């Protein structure tokens, strides 16, 4: 009897040992992917088609996983920003005072040319200067847009031009309002205006062009481990140098990313404090 109990006990020990050994060799549950929020500049499908390949590249270079996120409207994305729902964020709306509590910190900025705002009309429009669009409907992406609302609206105010604002929810939406005759002019990011025209959707004439402003950054939420932030930052910066990154940038027709500091956006924050 004792011998049988001993054999049974040994059997349990062997089985337990095997179970522990298997448990140690099984892969642990994958960590939750980092949420990567993106500003509503274009329709969600176009935005995802641009950013998902970049996030896949980041995964390959850092070993970290990312999930593209974007609200159905710019207001929804901004609300998510204010609540700090994104681990990483491509936006400059976080510099608005009402979103500052989330404390996103810039790590890189979009490369290429700096931000420039334009107020444009269709090529065959009779309007020749800002005074001519006084009292007319001007399309903007949203009241939260920096280069295509804050900067250009300030210019209109300084010129003493009162207009009827109409909001298209995105750069694309504002351009379409002008294209379809529902607005006499549109305020756009110069880079987007050039892209819209290059796609053959319309031909614009520029009534006003702003000075250059710092480009939109990728920022990190303070809760993200600094080592992981550093890895993401380096992977984004390296895209312009390594063959895989260069090939992806060429395929997506984007310029890559540049180093940046929080201090660069001091003037952006100040302009966001103005109410109009």
pLDDT tens per residue, range 37-49: 999 998 999 999 9
Residue 256 CA from chain centroid, whole number: 13
* 237-274 tens-digit pLDDT: 999 999 999 999 999 999 999 999 999 999 999 999 99
Residue-wise pLDDT tens digits, 98-144 = 988 999 999 999 999 999 999 999 999 999 999 999 999 999 999 99
Q: With contact defined as beta carbons under 8 Å apart, do 98 and 247 qualify?
A: no
Fold of 34-113+214-272: D-Maltodextrin-Binding Protein; domain 2 (3.40.190)
Average pLDDT for residues 23-46, to the nearest whole number? 75
The average confidence (pLDDT) of the chain is 91
Q: Mean pLDDT, to the nearest integer, of 20-32? A: 44
Domain extents in the chain: 34-113+214-272, 117-209
* pLDDT value at residue 31: 79
- Alpha carbon distance 98, 275 (integer Å): 12
CATH 3.40.50.20 is held by the domain 117-209: no
34-113+214-272 and 117-209 share one CATH topology?
yes
Sequence-distant (6+) residues with CB within 8 A of 110 are: 90, 215, 216, 217, 218, 254, 255, 257, 258
What pLDDT does 30 receive?
54
Res 146 pLDDT > 80: yes
């Amino acid at each position: 009897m004792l011998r049988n109990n001993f054999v049974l006990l040994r059997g349990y020990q062997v089985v337990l040992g095997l179970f522990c050994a298997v448990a140690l060799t099984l892969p642990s549950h994958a960590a939750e992917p980092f949420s990567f929020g993106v500003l509503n500049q274009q329709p969600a499908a176009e935005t995802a088609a641009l950013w998902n390949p970049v996030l896949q590249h980041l995964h390959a270079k850092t070993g970290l996983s990312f999930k593209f996120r974007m609200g159905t409207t710019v207001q929804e994305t901004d609300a998510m920003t204010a609540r700090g729902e994104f681990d990483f964020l491509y936006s400059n709306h976080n510099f608005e005072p009402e979103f500052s509590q989330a404390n996103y910190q810039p790590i890189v900025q979009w490369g290429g040319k700096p931000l420039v705002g334009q107020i444009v009309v269709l090529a065959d429009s009779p309007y020749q200067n800002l005074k001519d669009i006084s009292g007319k409907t001007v399309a903007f992406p949203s009241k939260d847009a920096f280069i295509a609302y804050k900067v250009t609206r300030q210019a209109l105010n300084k010129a003493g031009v009162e207009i009827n604002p109409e909001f298209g929810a995105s750069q694309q939406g504002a351009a379409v309002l002008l294209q379809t005759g529902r607005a006499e002019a549109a305020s756009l990011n110069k880079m987007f205006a050039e892209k819209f025209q290059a796609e053959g959707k319309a031909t614009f004439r520029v009534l006003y062009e702003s000075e250059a402003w710092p480009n939109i950054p990728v920022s990190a939420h303070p809760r993200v481990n600094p080592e992981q932030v550093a890895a993401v930052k380096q992977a984004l910066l390296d895209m312009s140098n390594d063959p895989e990154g260069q090939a992806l940038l060429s395929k997506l027709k984007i310029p890559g990313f540049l180093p940046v500091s929080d201090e660069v956006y001091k003037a952006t924050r100040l302009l966001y404090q103005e109410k109009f």
